[in-house]
Structure formats: C-alpha cells, structure tokens
Chains A and B, each alone.
Chain A
Amino acid sequence: MPGSLTLSDDDRATLAGERGDGARFAMRILVRTAEAMGARTLLDVSSAHVDGCLYHGRAGLDFARRLIDGGAEVSVPTTLNVSSLDLLHPGLVRLKPETETEARELMDAYLTMGCRPTWTCAPYQLPERPTLGEHVAWAESNAIVFANSVLGARTGRYGDFIDICCAVTGRAPASGLHLDGERRARTVFRIGAVPGRLLEDEAAFSAIGHLVGRAARNAVPAIVGLPPSATEDQLKALGAAAASSGAVAMFHAVGVTPEAPTLEVATGGHEPAIDVSIDLPAMRAARDELSTVQVGTSVGSVSIGTPHCSTIELRRLAALVEGRRLAIPCYANTGRDVLAEIPDVAEALRAAGVTIVTDTCTYITPIIERAATPVVTNSGKWAWYAPGNLGFDVAFATLEECIGSAEAGYLVRDQETWGDG
C-alpha cells in the first residue's frame, strides 16, 4: 500500500524530476506499480528486455512519446523484443499501411531511447546474458521464465510499460522472484513413464509445460524426472508453454536447473500445494488440446520457432528438410543476431523452400495467409495463442511430424513416438 515503499535518495531525486521529465514519469509509473506489488524498496537491475515495441494500438505509442518528449534514455543495457514487422524481409508482413507506419514509429521510439535493435523474444540466445543471482528487468513471458529458471537470474513478471521504466531508471521493485523466499517451488510435477524418444523432442517439453501451466497457474513448479541432458531449447519450449497456459514465471527442473539440485532444495522443504504425475496419456491429451484438427486433415503451412529458433534448432531443421520436397509453406522464426551467426544454414533453409522470419513472429502479425491453414507447429505457445489471435486452425506436433506433414500436405503423426493406438 502507499506508504510501505521506501525510496532511496536517488529514487526520490528522479521522482522529483532532477533527471528530466521522462525519467520522472518512468519513476512515477515504477513507484505506483511497486506499491501495487507490495514492494518495500526498489533494487538495481543490470539489464532490461523490453516488450513494449510490439504494436497493439496507439496507447503504446502515446506512452513511448511521453518518455521521449521528456528526454528519457535507458540507463542499463536494454534489448528489444519482437516487433510487428520484419525489417530484414520487407513485404513478408501484410499490415495495413497506417498500422505499419505506427508500428515502425513505435520501434523507432524505443531505439531513440537507446535500446538495442535485437527484435527477439529470446534475448537469452544473445552473447551477453545475465548469470546466476543477477537482478534484471525482463519482459516477455518466455524470456522471464527462461531467465529465472534456466539462467538463475532474477526478474519479476514484468510487462509492457514497466519494462522501459525499469530500463530508464535502472531500478525494479524488490519483490516477487527477486526475493529468495518467492523462488521456492509450491507445486510438484513428476514425469512418469514417457518414451525416451518422445522426450528428445521439444514438443514433449511443450506438452509438459502446457500441463504444468494449466495446473500451477502462477505458482513456482518443481518438475521431477526430466532428463539431466535436457537442452536449453527444450527448457525454452517448456517455459514458453507454461507461461502461456498459466502465469508461470519460474520453474525448477530438478537435477537440471541451477537452483534445483534436489527437490528439497527446490521446495525449500515446504510441503507442495499440488503433487501430481504427468504420464504419456496426459501428454497425448495436451497434444490434442493444443490441436484443433485431426490426423489426416489437409494442412496449409508449418511454423517453427516460437520462441525464436536457436542456431541448434535451425541446423536441425535444415538437416530435416534437406532433400525433401515441401508441399506447403514452411516458416522458421528466429532472431536476426542468431541468423547472422549461421549464414550457411540460412542459405540451406532458403534453398529447401523454408521462409525465414526475423524481428517478429508468425503468431502475432499477419504473415501466413488464411488459405495456408491449418498450421502445423511444434510450439505449444504458438498452438495456444494462434486460434484466438489469428482465428486459424492449428495442429501441435513434433518437429519431425511438422516436416512430415509439410511433405505430405496433411497432418501426420508418429504413433510410435506418442504411444498412440
């Protein structure tokens, strides 16, 4: 409540306008939000990841202009999330001209404030990323959950507006996942007998994340039974799905993620509110819940890379499509910095007929034509949001099933992998 938040001398100076009107406005929004969160103080952050550059209407532009008009600039290294446009591949996004103009103005506004033009939802794939125990202010639900869970950095569940306020002031509310006690698991999920072959695919991790998010909602879950070899890409898929079906901002994968050497450490010894098993039938149910069409249905395109593909994922995709004839459009979303690392792979993908999308993503902006639906994806997040965002039918599948479907022109399932039948 108002009154319980204690500000430093520097904070008060910023709030009084001593660093300019833009910084004053940013601190005012930050203080009000910190009060709503019940924070007692603010703390320093070492970086920020800003989501407000994706256009959802005039309010975002009004907000950014208010900061710029007051001379606001970021005070810590700040990366930018996906936008509404693909600046590297003009013509790919089909926005109305006036919307495109405002979307571009919004992007430029954030560059004016000193943010880096990274345009990716996976800032953790960039070379400089936060490390264990480091406080940051990240927005974008999948980036938040990855930073907290996989990197062991500390960020609250920040959203549009507060992200840039933290970047400008270099401060964030000392509450939530910034604090030790809030990072302990309150729910436990145990992976039962699931074929090892299925657990090699990111789609399995998406399905697990989907189930965890559904049941855990906004509590921190501990997941027991994931392979110690789980990759960052797999944990990315899990976190992104859990942050879509629920408000999960951190998970522990026991024996995998840095703050969960054991279940006892992950829970802090507390009795969990929920302790449930995830078995193969539950994972098939998640797969089917994330699909609006059945096996054998004619499909119109494939979309990979939500969150953005890593270099490893793009290499795997390139190996899978090599020498195969894709009957339908296939889109791969990735970050421009990741793409620049592997020009040979990018070339191979394009030669095989894959359309590479950067700076944005196929589920938030008009790229895929309605005629090219239903869409097959290996992303739980894409499958969760696309029916509402785009009004498209969708099928959730493993990467191999996605490419098999692209070749066949209809949805194929590997019944052995999923244990169907």
Chain B
Amino acid sequence: MADATRVLVTGTASGPVVVLDEPLSFWGGFDPTTGRLVDTHHPQVGAALGGSVLVMPAGRGSSSSSYVLAEAARAGTAPVAVVLGEPDPIVALGAIVAEELYGIGLPVVVVPTPGLVTGRHVTVRADPDGTVELAAD
C-alpha cells in the first residue's frame, strides 16, 4: 500500500513546487501566522510554504499537526496541496477539516516518486476515483 499512488483528500490546486528533503511536522515545524518552516533541525528552515504545492517524503512528529494545517488554511498561509511519499493520516485530516469547516480545498496525495522540482509551477488534480495528475503549468 505504501508504494502506490493514492488520493488521501480530493481536489485541484495550482502553485509553485517546494520539495522538502526531510519530513516536516506542521506543529512545531511550521508557523501558521507566516507560512514559514521554523523547524531548526530541518535543512530547509526558513522556507516559505504558503501557497505552494508542498512535496515531502512523509509526515512526522506531533499529532497537533492537523490543527496547525487547518489553522494555516483558515489564515491563508497553508500550502495549496501536499504531495507525500507515503500516506500520513494527520496531514490528510488537517486538509479534510479545512474543507469541512471553511470550504477550502487542499488536495493531499501520495506519489512515491513525483519527479517535481522546487520552483516549477504545477497543478495537482486528485479525483474521487483515485486518479492523481501532476501537470506542469
């Protein structure tokens, strides 16, 4: 299951890609008031994630990450889509709540080798039938 492409949360979103080399815990690692990565242990500390198509190998750490992701969506500082290397229910849940509470679509997909490069502008389409499309704009 961990190796297959999957849709965790459906939706369509476009933005510039930010590829993280290591997993991120949104709680403790991301500031929802600024949209920046603040985990001092992370090699990309300081990276601006707001509005991005965030690509990372996995989720990590705190179970408060779903709250922080939903709060960032409410505040307009969240990534517009998350592409994970392996499934992470905590990231998915944050996106589900953002949609249920605020009607903000934040697709979350699992693509083991997405082939995306930081800075490129892409559209993520995650369909209810499980189809994932990552298209360069």
User: What is the chain B residue whose CB lies nearest that of A173?
Assistant: B89
Check B62 against A141 for contact (C-beta < 8 Å): yes
**Contact of B96 (CB < 8 Å), options: A2, A32, A58:** A32
Which A residue's beta carbon lies closest to that of B7?
A1
Q: In the bound complex, do residue A54 and residue B64 qualify as a contact, i.e. CB atoms below 8 Å apart?
A: yes
B89 pairs with A141, CB closer than 8 A: no
B residues near A160, Cβ cutoff 8 Å: 63-64, 66-67, 93
Q: Is there contact, CB below 8 Å, between B130 and A63?
A: no
Judge whether B63 and A36 touch: CB under 8 Å: no
Query: B28 contacts which chain A residues (CB < 8 A)?
Result: 385, 388-389
Inside 8 A of A33's CB, which chain B residues have their CB? Answer: 89, 92-93, 96
Q: How far is the CB of A403 from chain B (nearest CB, A)?
A: 26
* Beta-carbon contact of A56 and B67 below 8 Å: yes
Contact with B70, one of A59, A158, A217, A218 (Cβ below 8 angstroms): A59
From B58, B74, B89, contact of A58 by CB (8 A): B74
- How many interface residues does A have (CB within 8 Å)? 46
A38 with B61: CB separation less than 8 A = no
Task: Point out the residues of chain B lying under 8 angstroms from A389, CB to CB.
Answer: 28
B residues 55-78 touching A (CB-CB < 8 Å): 58-68, 70-71, 73-75
Q: Which of B80-105 contact A (CB under 8 A)?
A: 86-90, 92-94, 96-98, 100-102
Min distance, Cβ B113 to any Cβ of chain A, angstroms: 17
Contact B61 A244, beta carbon cutoff 8 Å: yes
**Contacts A58-B71, A62-B101, A218-B58 given; does A387 touch B64 at CB 8 Å:** no
Assembled-state Cα–Cα distance A169/B58 (Å) = 29
A336 in contact (CB, < 8 A): no
Asked if B6 is an interface residue, CB under 8 A from chain A, the answer is yes
Nearest A residue to B4 by beta-carbon distance?
Answer: A38
Find the residue from B60, B89, B102 having the highest chain A CB count within 10 A.
B89
A144 to B1, CA, bound (A): 23
Report how far A387 CA is from B66 CA in the complex, Å.
Answer: 21
Q: Interface with A: B12-20, B37-45, B115-123, which one?
A: B37-45
Known: A139-B63, A247-B58. A36 touches B8 (CB 8 A): yes
Residues of A contacting B39 in the complex (Cβ-Cβ under 8 angstroms): 388
Using Cβ atoms and an 8 Å threshold, which residues of chain A touch B7?
A: 1
Complex partner residue of B75 from A51, A57, A161, CB under 8 angstroms:
A57
Partner of B101, one of A1, A63, A159, A388: A63
> How far apart are the CA atoms of A25 and B102 in the complex, in Å?
14
For the complex, what is the distance from the CA of A50 to the CA of B43, rounded to whole Å? 32
Contacts of A217 in B (CB 8 A): 23, 58, 60
A1-53 with Cβ < 8 A to chain B = 1-2, 25, 28-29, 32-33, 36-38, 51-52
A59 in contact with B97 given A247-B23, A388-B29 (CB within 8 Å): yes
Docked Cα-Cα span, A62 to B71, in Å, equals 10
**Pairwise interchain contact B67-A156, C-beta atoms closer than 8 A:** no
* Bound: A144/B41 CA distance, A: 23
Q: Which of B6, B63, B89, B97 contacts A63 (CB 8 A)?
A: B97
> A140 CA to B28 CA in the complex, in Å?
13
Pairwise interchain contact B6-A1, C-beta atoms closer than 8 A:
yes
Contact A36–B92 (Cβ < 8 Å): yes
Decide: A36 and B67 in contact? CB cutoff 8 A. Answer: no
The interface residues of chain A lying within 8 Å CB-to-CB of B98 are 59
Q: Which residues of B contact A139 (CB under 8 A)?
A: 63
Write the nearest CB–CB distance from A126 to chain B, whole angstroms: 19
B32 within 8 A of A: yes
Residue in A54, A56, A63 whose beta carbon sits within 8 Å of that of B32 in the complex: A56
Closest to B97 in A: A161
A-chain residues with CB within 8 Å of residue B62 when the two chains form the complex: 141, 159, 244, 385
Tell whether, in the assembled complex, residue B63 and residue A60 are in contact, meaning their CB atoms are under 8 Å apart: no
Q: How far is the CA of A161 from the CA of B101 in the complex (A)?
A: 11
B111 within 8 Å of A (CB atoms): no
B87 to A388, Cβ gap below 8 A? no
Q: With an 8 A cutoff between CB atoms, is A162 at the interface?
A: yes
A369–B66 CA distance with the chains assembled, in angstroms: 28
Chain A nearest CB: distance from B51 CB in Å?
A: 18
Chain B, residue nearest A165 (CB): B93
Looking across the interface, which residue of chain A has its beta carbon closest to that of B30?
Answer: A388
A284 at interface by CB-CB < 8 Å: no
If A36-B96, A56-B27 are given as contacts, then 17 extra A-B residue pairs at C-beta distance below 8 Å, sorted by A number, are A1-B129, A1-B130, A2-B128, A36-B87, A51-B63, A51-B64, A57-B32, A58-B71, A62-B102, A157-B63, A159-B64, A159-B65, A159-B89, A160-B66, A161-B97, A176-B89, A247-B59
Q: Which residues of A contact B (CB under 8 A)?
A: 1-2, 25, 28-29, 32-33, 36-38, 51-52, 54, 56-60, 62-63, 66, 139-141, 144, 156-163, 176, 217-218, 243-247, 384-385, 387-389
Q: Can you list 20 contacts pairing A with B, beta carbon distance less than 8 Å?
A: A1-B7, A1-B129, A33-B92, A36-B92, A59-B101, A60-B67, A62-B102, A156-B89, A159-B63, A159-B64, A159-B94, A160-B64, A162-B89, A162-B93, A243-B61, A244-B62, A245-B41, A246-B61, A385-B28, A385-B62
